Amino acid sequence: MEAFMDKLIVTSRHGGRKLIDLDRPRMTIGRAPGSDLPVETPLASRVHALLSARRDGVYVSDLDSSNGTFVNGRKIERHLLRHRDVIRVGDWDIRYIDGNVEPQRETTVAPAI
Q: Tell me the residue type at 98.
A: D
User: pLDDT digits over 4-61, tens only?
Assistant: 789 999 998 888 899 999 999 999 999 999 999 999 999 999 999 999 999 999 999 9
In a domain, 35, yes or no: yes
Which residue, among 10, 22, 42, has the nearest Cα to 100 in the 3D structure? 22
Cα 29 to Cα 23: distance, rounded to the nearest angstrom: 14
Number of domains comprising the chain: 1
In-domain check, residue 65 = yes
Single pTM value for the model: 0.85
Contacts 24+ apart (CB under 8 A), 22-25: 22/51, 22/53, 22/58, 22/96, 24/53, 25/52, 25/53
Residue 107 included in any domain: no
Q: Which domain holds residue 70?
A: 7-102
Distance of CA 21 to the CA centre of its chain: 10
Tell me, yes or no, whether 68 lies in a domain.
yes
pLDDT tens digits, 55-96: 999 999 999 999 999 999 999 999 999 999 999 999 999 999
